[in-house]
Amino acid sequence: MTTLPICARLEAENLCWGPRPGHHIIANVSLSVEAGERLAIIGANGAGKSTLLRCLYRGVRPMQGSVRLDGVDLWSIRPREVAKRIAVVLQETPADFPFSVRDVVMMGRIPHRKGLARWGDRDRDITAQALENLELRHLSSRQFSSLSGGEKQRVLIARALAQEPEIVILDEPTNHLDIRHQLEILALLKDLGPTIIATLHDINLAADFATKVAVIRSGRITGHGVPGEVLTAQRISTAFGVAASAHRAVDTSLNRFTFSLS
């Protein structure tokens, strides 16, 4: 398995963004992710999770506040350099993408290519390893558009890993995946080593996967820290507008809870 020894720190301070002045989808959001940490952002639909991610990967410029990559303002870094260092996997996938699976994964190498140079041996080797890691080698010649939703998701994650990023940002990476592939992909992301920021809709998966969690409600962070301290039944109930209960794992040394919602 290819390892990614280089990872980066990302921090946001007092972020605000909305479609127009005075209408903020996120407001006064501050959080930090140390190099090599895994941050899971959780919250109800419409809470502002995807908007927050767009600010973190430079998809939109914040109206207020800043995002810093290893202490440097993200918007002062050249776009190509940002593309080398931050990989993004979004929920939306193109319905008609006239490329093979191998071609799509190879696109992760574009930020590293100089001009119109041809792909090199390193590009092909890294692409092959990403296909192998995501169990996609048997699909490498298939058209991307012919795949199922879960297969497409795995291809896009493979493309992100082929980018050799320092930070991987994922918006609901387990969408469309069966339970087996959900667990396998999260385990793979744990092992690879880059800093990871992901929105997850499954609280129990988030608690098991993340070293830190951030709970967002109505565009504001209501809790940020280690899962065992942040993911309380009361905070989850408030964030999702449902009754929540937490059950400690049988092995209390794990400091792990299972959440039930109703």
Task: Find out whether 171 and 50 touch, Cβ atoms under 8 Å.
Answer: yes
Question: Alpha-carbon distance 183 to 174, whole Å?
Answer: 9
Q: Does residue 181 lie in a domain region? A: yes
Q: Please state, as a whole number, how many other Cβ atoms lie within 10 Å of the Cβ of residue 122.
A: 11
For residue 130, being part of any structural domain is answered with no
Q: Report the domain count for the chain.
A: 1
Phi-psi region of 36 (alpha: psi -120 to 50; beta: other; left: phi over 0): left
User: b/e string for 146-173 if b means 16 or more Cβ within 10 A?
Assistant: ebeebbbbbbbbbbbbbbbbbbbbbbbb
Bridge partners (DSSP) of residue 66 are 13
In a domain, 138, yes or no: no
pLDDT of residue 62: 96
Point out which residues pair with 41 in neighbouring strands. 199, 214
- Neighbour count for residue 37 (Cβ, 10 Å): 16
At residue 118, the pLDDT reads 86
Domain assignment present for residue 145? The answer is no
What is the C-alpha to C-alpha distance for residues 109 and 161, in angstroms, rounded to an integer? 10
Residue 155 lies in a domain: no
pLDDT number for residue 95? 65
The CATH number of the domain where 23 resides is what? 3.40.50.300
By the 8 A CB rule, do 155 and 105 touch? yes
Asked if the structure places residue 235 within a domain, the reply is yes
Could you tell me the residue range of the domain that residue 76 belongs to? 10-93+164-261
Q: Distances in Å between the alpha carbon of 245 and those of 63, 242, 251?
A: 37, 10, 18
| Tens-binned pLDDT, residue by residue, of the chain (262 aa) | 444 447 899 999 999 999 988 889 999 999 999 999 999 999 999 999 999 999 999 999 999 999 999 999 999 999 999 999 999 999 876 667 789 999 999 999 999 988 777 899 999 999 999 999 899 999 999 999 999 888 888 999 999 999 999 999 999 988 878 888 888 888 888 887 789 999 998 898 999 999 999 999 999 999 999 998 999 889 999 898 877 666 655 444 444 556 565 5
Phi and psi, residue 5, nearest 5°: -75, -15
27 CB contacts (<8 Å, ≥6 apart)?
Answer: 16, 219, 220
Write down the pTM of the prediction. 0.88
Whether 206 maps to a domain, the answer reads yes
Pair 31, 220: CB distance under 8 Å? no
In this predicted structure, what is the pLDDT of residue 251? 46
> Is 23 inside any structural domain?
yes
